[in-house]
């Protein structure tokens, strides 16, 4: 069984989270500049078995795609071509940034630490991955 990677795709940075090999626990992995995302994925997939990539799906409150979806679609197409053997799924990412900040507050992080956008992005990716895993487990 391979790991599941999750990406909170942003125009500047991407938060990345990963499961353990048994796909039981989601943990933050990294935050990378979007311009370096391909290098990161190529290196990571080269050393670890990845079964699935979950990419956050930004939506409006009425479930229509968010404006940022137009930046994500080219990435998705490129990923499908580069890694046809890895399943690609989407997960609703509404409220993940707010939930990440709330989790950081509840975890006792100081205001200065909560302003670290990289930490917010990787935490958001972890929330996307946890949501995906919970939804998947409900279906099985």
Mean pLDDT computed over every residue of the chain: 86
Torsion sign over Cα 29, 33, 34, 39: negative
- Highest average pLDDT, of 24-33, 61-70, 89-98, comes from 24-33
Maximum distance among all Cα pairs of the chain, rounded to whole angstroms: 42
108-119 in b/e form (b: 16+ CB < 10 A) is ebeeeebeeeeb
If one compares 55 and 121, the residue with the highest pLDDT of the two is: 55
Average pLDDT rounded to a whole number, residues 109-125: 70
Domains of the chain: 3-139 (3.30.420.140)
Reported pTM: 0.84
Q: What is the pLDDT of residue 129?
A: 96
Q: Give per-residue pLDDT as tens, 38-84.
A: 999 999 999 999 999 999 998 777 777 778 899 999 999 999 999 99
With a cut of 70, say whether residue 140 has pLDDT above it.
no
Band of pLDDT at residue 90, cut at 50, 70 and 90: very high
Q: What is the pLDDT of residue 137?
A: 79
């Amino acid at each position: 069984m391979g790991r599941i990677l999750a990406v909170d795709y942003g125009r500047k940075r991407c938060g990345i989270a990963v499961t353990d090999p048994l796909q039981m626990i989601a943990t933050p992995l990294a935050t990378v500049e979007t311009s370096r995302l391909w290098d990161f994925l190529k290196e990571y997939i080269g050393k670890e078995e990845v079964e699935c990539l979950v990419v956050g799906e930004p939506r409006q409150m009425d479930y229509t795609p968010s404006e940022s979806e137009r930046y994500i679609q080219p990435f998705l197409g490129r990923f499908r071509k580069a890694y046809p053997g890895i399943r690609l799924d989407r997960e609703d990412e509404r409220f993940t940034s707010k939930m990440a900040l709330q989790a950081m507050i509840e975890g006792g992080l100081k205001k200065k630490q909560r302003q670290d956008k990289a930490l917010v992005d990787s935490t958001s990716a972890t929330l996307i991955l946890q949501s995906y895993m919970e939804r998947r487990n409900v279906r099985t």
